[in-house]
Amino acid sequence: MKNEFSVLMSVYQKENPEFLEESLHSILNQTRLPKEIILVEDGPLNDKLYCVIESFSNMTNLLKRVRLVENLGLGRALSEGVEYVTTNLIARMDSDDISVKDRFEKQIALFDDHNSLALVGGQIAEFQDRVDNIISCRNVPVGDKEIRKFAKLRSPFNHPTIVMKKDVLQTVGGYQSFSYLEDYHLWVRFLLENNITVCNLPDTLLYMRVGNGLYNRRGGFKYLKQYIVLKKLFRSWKFINRFEYASSVVFMGVSTLSPGWLRKYLYTHLLRK
């Protein structure tokens, strides 16, 4: 039996309306369409964003709008959106990224064939300004065993490429607020769940838009402090041991406390392939 799926997105007032429009059109251009697109409006938006959303609503009946009275942040906004999803498969996408046109066809086919699968991601190409201006790629492990090993050091999935089962998401506690690292926090909860498998496709599934401030946001004491809190949590869950905790904190400390230019070099030359 072929699975139906929903796309879950969130948008807030500071986002670029042109980027949102490109993102939404990349969904409509898919070779396998979703049953619905759940778009969470995370607080009041500006007129240009409303114009894009209303134009898109007139173009297709797939769009379902979830309007939040105030800005809650990504984790809580997505948690609200999940409640409106009517399928068991949820495809994630950010409001400024562009999905490759056969992305959903490839991912959903795996769920059609493998009942134990709970989460499927893929590779991303990061670009600036134009899709043909690729500045780096984030490649993550493909197989279940390799993903679980990789996750002890770094986040093993590219969040905007994910398709996951709603029932498993809810079983592990759903989206939760965890500044900077909400996705990593969620993936490890998935990996601790019994009797499921996960994978990443080796294909590039999505073009991720990155700005000049990306590498600054991934640094500083606040980021490192939150990372240490998360790793301590992983230890309490017995997901990592003392050595894995120490090595990952040292590794992240070097990265986050480096100057912005050096952090950019580390991300684009050593942490991206």
Q: Is 132's pLDDT higher than 60? A: yes
Write the CB contacts of 168 (distance below 8 Å, at least 6 apart in sequence): 118, 119, 190, 193, 196
The CA distance from 110 to 98, in Å, is 21
Q: Cα 190 to chain center, whole Å? A: 14
The CA distance from 236 to 257, in Å, is 26
Question: pTM of the prediction?
Answer: 0.93
Q: Is 268's pLDDT higher than 80? A: no
Q: Name the E strands within 197-246.
A: 197-209
Choosing among 3.40.1130.10, 3.90.550.10, 1.20.1560.10, 3.40.50.720, the CATH entry for 5-211 is 3.90.550.10
The CA distance from 221 to 120, in Å, is 32
Report, as an integer, the average pLDDT of 176-202: 96
The CA distance from 65 to 246, in Å, is 44
The CA distance from 42 to 193, in Å, is 30
The structural domains of the chain, with segments of one domain joined by +, span: 5-211, 213-273
Cβ atoms of residues 181 and 172 within 8 Å: no
Instruction: List, for residues 213-257, the tens digit of each pLDDT value.
Output: 555 555 678 999 999 999 999 999 999 999 999 999 998 888 787
Phi and psi for 49 in degrees, rounded to 5?
-65, -45
Report, as an integer, the average pLDDT of 147-173: 98
- 156 confidence band (pLDDT: 50, 70, 90): very high
The CA distance from 141 to 154, in Å, is 11
Mean residue pLDDT across the chain:
93
Instruction: List, for residues 49-104, the tens digit of each pLDDT value.
Output: 999 999 999 999 999 999 999 999 999 999 999 999 999 999 999 999 999 999 99
Structure tokens at 112: 């059609």
Q: Which of 153, 224, 157 is nearest to 190 (CA)?
A: 157
Strand pairing category for 63-67 and 117-127: unpaired
Write the CB contacts of 19 (distance below 8 Å, at least 6 apart in sequence): 95, 96, 209
Share of the chain above pLDDT 70, in %: 91
Structure tokens at 55: 């134009």
Q: What is the DSSP letter of 267?
A: I
